Amino acid sequence: MGLIGMLPSSIPTYNSANPLTSILIVFFISLGAFFLIPIIMGHRNWRNAPPGPRGWPIFGYLPYLSENLHVNLFHLSKTYGPLFSLRLGQKPVIVISSPEAAREILKHKEGSFSSRTITEAIRCVIYDGSSLVFVPHSERWRLLRKIFTTELFSSRAIHLLQPARLQQVNDLLKSLYDNSKSKTLVNISESMFVAATNLTSNLCCSKSLFGGNMEIKELMEKVFDDVFIPNLADFIPILKIFDPQGVKKRLSKVAKKLDNAFDKLIDERLEEKKQGVKINENGRLDLLDVFLDYKNERKDECLNQFSRVDIKGMLIDMLLAGSDTTASTVEWGMAEILKKPKVYRKILVELEQVIGNNRFIEEADIPKLTYFQAVVKEIFRLHPAVPLLLPRRSNEACDVFGYHVPKHAMVLVNVWGIARDPKVWPEPLEFKPERFLESKIDIKGQDFEILPFGSGRRSCVGMPLGLRMVQFSLASLLHAFEWDCPIDTLEDMTEKVGITLHKAKVLMGIPKPRLQDSVYH
């Protein structure tokens, strides 16, 4: 789950029942104020602001941005530097475009930038933004983070979830084997999306919700469509009462149905607990187990138990965060690898040496695949699923590198832009896994040249699971099958902005088995 789509990229088309009044009000105020820009704004976006472009009153810099916001901001950084300012509507924004600036914000001054910017759509769908990802930095956030890291994403918990990962990936491989018999084109991203979402739902409630439960699948797809679309009301407060794009109206209907579906899941689990039914024989706890059974033994902490609303917020949080990111990363990885025969051959040679052709790959094989791990790092570098890290918000007014940052400013870290900076990476646009073979740079948040999972307190809590799923899935697809991809779907690397960055031209391919037939049965 990321920023792209959360920020308006241009002034959108209004489609509410009566948008004309709000449009005219904004237009005439903006037109009248246009001539006062030098007086109102001076030479900075605010007093002692970092350098940056000035925009219109009311709209700020929004009219000059496209849907490819990460690209726009990357080009602006070439003019204004690695730390610059602008206004999006009425919101003050600082943009981070270098490892040094990212380290300053995310590490040295993290205490001042540890909260989130929350949109109207998020408030509607994720219960006023009360889940782990969006809750303000507070005692509640610390408690939630501790529970997730110790109960759901600890080394033991991830180990106990291994059978579910194996099941989802093997089901995917067997499905592809069936496709290979009919030589049917496969949408690689869509196939990975189903597998990743089912794994996430197993983490949440020990069920594959995108298998038999079509209701939740359809509702989640509607959330994916709407929750991160550009919404001008997030940046011009006066428009919130009009809901000019109808985002809140549409999502409220979906949220109500999703709320009912989650209530059914919780009721089923409570009934199972009442009857003494064991959900996971290996002792693994899922999200429902953890939060339904939570009892706080410390009086100084902020919660003694979690309400239904809290639990439903965690469910939607995890489903949004744990699905599309894996699918998009695997899709980009497959495209980059299949485009480069030398890289592809090196991977296959390593797979043959470590695994052979008489079994599927196992997670225990991954640490032995040195070159393949370098390939995965290069995929994360060049194609971060969330090109602008989920936006942070300044908790207080503070100074950064001698510039003033006002309270509640939005903070955007352009990891996509950092990856394309020749001052940071030699030949940055080239897909070269070899750059990581002799490098100690890792992707786990300590090296600010590459931050696919963020860094610090608000980094992705599910990073250990997400990384394993990307490595295991991608290696399995390459090891089990050869791929015949139409040249247009392989060569076109244009980006499509959504919840994450996907290929605009969906990667399609016909799988051809590489292993002994008995392996697939």
Q: Is residue 7 part of a domain?
A: no
Task: Please indicate, yes or no, if residue 10 is contained in any of the structural domains.
Answer: no
Tell whether 4 is covered by a domain. Answer: no
Annotated binding site: 460
Write down the pLDDT at residue 173. 96
Q: What is the CA radius of gyration of the chain?
A: 24
Phi, psi of 515 (to 5 degrees): -105, 175
CB 100 within 8 A of CB 77: no
- Which 3 state secondary structure label does DSSP give 59? coil
Confidence at residue 498, expressed as pLDDT on a 0 to 100 scale: 74
Beta carbons within 8 Å of 160's beta carbon, 6+ residues apart: 280, 282, 283, 284
Asked, for residue 254, whether it belongs to a domain, the answer is yes
Given this model, what pLDDT does residue 31 score? 52
Annotated binding site for heme: 460
pLDDT at 10: 40
Report the candidate in 42, 102, 118 with the shortest Cα–Cα distance to residue 415: 102
Q: Is 266 part of a structural domain of the chain?
A: yes
Three-class SS of residue 292? helix
What pLDDT is attached to residue 43? 62
The Cα–Cα gap between 296 and 306 comes to 10
Query: Tell me, what's the pLDDT at 11?
Result: 38
pLDDT attached to residue 222: 83
pLDDT at 40: 46
Supply the CATH number for residue 140's domain: 1.10.630.10
| The residue to which tokens 């980009």 are assigned | 332
**Count of domains forming the chain:** 1
Amino acid at 43: H
Q: Tell if the pTM clears 0.85, that is, is over it.
A: yes
Look at residue 134 and tell me if it is in a domain: yes
* 15 part of a folded domain: no
Kindly give the residue spans of alpha helices, DSSP state H, lying in 340-453. 341-354, 370-382, 415-419
Question: Would you write out the chain's pLDDT as a tens digit for each of its 521 residues?
Answer: 333 333 433 434 434 445 556 555 655 555 554 445 444 445 689 999 999 999 999 999 999 998 899 999 999 999 999 999 999 999 999 999 999 999 999 999 999 999 998 889 999 999 988 899 999 999 999 999 999 999 999 999 999 999 999 999 999 999 999 999 999 999 999 999 999 999 999 999 999 988 656 677 788 878 877 787 778 999 999 999 999 989 999 999 999 999 999 999 999 999 999 999 988 888 899 999 999 999 766 554 555 679 999 999 999 999 888 888 999 999 999 999 999 999 999 999 999 999 999 999 999 999 999 999 999 999 999 999 999 999 999 999 999 999 999 999 999 999 999 999 999 999 999 999 999 998 999 999 999 999 999 999 999 999 999 999 999 999 999 999 999 999 999 999 999 887 788 899 999 999 999 999 999 98
Task: Give me the domain span that covers residue 228.
Answer: 20-520
